Every structure is written in C-alpha cells, then in structure tokens.
A and B are shown apart, each in its own frame.
Chain A
C-alpha cells in the first residue's frame, strides 16, 4: 500500500515537472543581473574570475552566512557523534597500497589545495574548492591508519576560529572606512596578477582555511566514530 501511494505521488510529481517544463522557456531567462555583473565586475573588484567577485564582493554577507551553516553542521555532527570510549575497538590499518598512496598524496594535496585557494580570483577555483581538497589531504591519512592523531582537535578549532574572525574583521574594517560591511578594500592592482583584487584573496584564504579545517574536523569525527561490532 505504501509503495503504491509512493508510486502515485512520484507519477504526479513527474507529470507536474513535465508540465512546468512545457510552460517555462528556461534558456531565455529574464534575469539580467549576471550580464550586468559581467560588464562591470572587472573594473569594480579587480578580480579576473567573476564568480569570485559575486561570492566575495557582491554577496559577501551570504558567503558569511553559508560559512555559518557549515559551522553549525560541523558542530552538531561533533555533538551527535560524541566522544569515543577509551576501550572501543578500532578498525585495523589499511593495506599497503592505501598507506603508501596516502603518504604520497598528502603533500601533493596540500600544495594543490593552497594553489587553488590562492588563485581563486584568477582561475576557476577558490576557497570552497581548495578548502575541500585541504580537508581531503588531512582525511586520507586517517583512512589509511585509523587511530593516529594528525593534529590536535583544539588546534583545528583555533585555526578555524581565527579564519572566521579574519573574515569578519576584514568586513568590519570596511565599515570603519565609512563603507558597507565587506566592501573590498586596498588597491585593486593589475587585472590577472596574483596580488590584485584588494582584500578578495585574503578573504578567500580565510574561507579556504575555515572550510578545510571544518570539514577535516567533521570527517575526523566520522572516522573516529566507534567501529561497530
């Protein structure tokens, strides 16, 4: 009975989506904000990657709120999983290939992650993507050798808090300057140079470190969850 109602519901949903698709001309949208931003972004923010301009300059406060969502998810994840018992059984070490691969990939992933974060205003990439790669770099050794402590949890929270504070302080500095919260400051520099776009690379670095440490902490919590008997 439940399956029948579920199938009926899905059928109705499919018909509804098909009807919506028939009636809306998706490819010719009425939203012009994107084209307007493309026209002025290079001059206003000095970043060659307009997605970065949108993420950090035009809707920077949204990005701050999204970081808050991620922070809340990581915090609740830690709360739900709780502390492991001292005598809880652990998974055995992984095989030779995964252990060697983790050792080899760790420095490589660190470099790639930092490269992607620091070039976020020039090339595709940025704090979110690079931060996830950083988190993967710190998670891989945990998969290979369950039970090792790569970095202290307190250090991770400290780094995470500092990165978040940097983001907010840069936003507040703009207010001291008489502008709105999170307005890009400093010299815009030459378009396409590594040191350009004012405070945007610093903001993206803060985002990258915050996302990286948060996800690394969350994944470490998941990996630390007691092995089921």
Chain B
C-alpha cells in the first residue's frame, strides 16, 4: 500500500465519484438513476474542490480560545463548498419535482418510453407519421407502430 498514500486515495475517491455520476447520467435510462447520478457527480466535484487546497495535518480555520494553530486549511474552498451543497439540495429538489411531472404526464420514468411518447405526441399534433428511417423494412417496423397510432386516433 505504499503507492496509495492518503492524498491519492482521496483524489481517487473524488474522481471516482464524478465518473460514477457521469456514467449514471450517460448510461442509465431511468430518470431517478439520472438524478442520483447528478447527486454523485456533485459530491465528487465538492470533494475535489476541497482537496484542491488540502494540506496534510492542517487544522480547521477556526480559532478556539486564542489558540492559533500553526497551519490552517484554506477557508475559501470550504466557503464555496458550503454554499454549493445547499444549492445542490435545491437543484435536486427541482429535478425531483420535474420527475414527478414526467411521471404524472407519461406514466413512466423510463426515458426511452418517455421519448417515444413525446415524439408520438408531436407527430399526432402535427398530423404526420412518426419520424423513422427511410430505409426501414416495411413489414417489420410498421406493424407495432401503426397499431399504436390507430389505437390513439380511434379513442
């Protein structure tokens, strides 16, 4: 464990959190997982910001009973992260309220289904066919798609 000193482990944790968060946003299709990915990304970014001025053995930048420590941590990133965490909570709450609206409007949080329903809504409104490739095989793709459209126009 000689290569992994404390600093390296903390940096790996920060970058790892950011990578996990980004992969959650990019790979997953479920809206809740995307929101959790944003939360993880935020945690990683905050940790990285704190680490950027971290010194081994530095104490918190607070004076207790006139006892001034020899080395104190940098207060600037701490102040930045302090406000960033609270704003992160606000953003999460906003994202969750948007997710509630999506669930109420489309009945699902799966982004693939939401995207399909959204496209269908737009095409229905404009009175045109669903956008699709011009080279799609006729009989395979048409059957499920048309039946859905007919159901909607019939009701």
Residues of A near any B CB (own CB < 8 A) = 3, 6-7, 9-10, 13-14, 17, 21, 26-27, 29, 31, 33-35, 37-38, 41-42, 48-51, 53-55, 59, 62-63, 66, 69-70, 73-74, 76-77, 80-81, 122-124, 126, 128-129, 131-132, 191-192, 211, 214-215, 218-219, 221-222, 225-226, 228
Contacts and interface: CB of A to CB of B under 8 A. Distances in A.
Interface size of B as a range: 35 or more
A215 to B, nearest CB: 7
Given A38-B75, A55-B79, A192 B97 contact: no
A83 B135 CA distance: 47
Contacts of B114: none
A175 B87 CA distance: 28
A37 B76 contact: yes
Contacts of B53: 29, 31, 34
A38 B59 CA distance: 12
Interface pairs A-B: 6 shortest CB-CB: A34-B74, A73-B90, A50-B61, A54-B79, A50-B75, A6-B26
A74 B90 contact: yes
A92 to B, nearest CB: 19
A51 B79 contact: yes
A63 B83 contact: yes
Contact of A6 (B23, B52, B55, B100): B23
B98 interface: yes
B101 A218 contact: no
A66 B100 contact: no
Contacts of B79: 51, 54-55, 59
A3 B27 contact: yes
A50 B72 contact: yes
A132 B92 CA distance: 14
Nearest to A131: B86
Interface of B: 7, 11, 15, 18-19, 22-23, 26-27, 51-56, 60-66, 72-79, 82-83, 85-87, 89-91, 93-94, 96-98, 100-101, 103-104
A126 B15 contact: no
A75 to B, nearest CB: 10
Contacts of A66: 83, 86-87
B26 A10 contact: yes
Contacts of A191: 63, 66
A22 B64 CA distance: 38
A35 B98 contact: no
Contact of A54 (B66, B75, B103): B75
A35 B65 contact: no
Given A211-B86, A222-B96, A37 B75 contact: yes
B54 A10 contact: no
B63 A192 contact: yes
B62 A21 contact: no
A132 B83 CA distance: 12
A135 to B, nearest CB: 9
A225 B96 CA distance: 11
A6 B72 CA distance: 42
A218 to B, nearest CB: 5
A14 B63 contact: no
A123 B132 CA distance: 62
B77 to A, nearest CB: 8
Contacts of A13: 19, 22
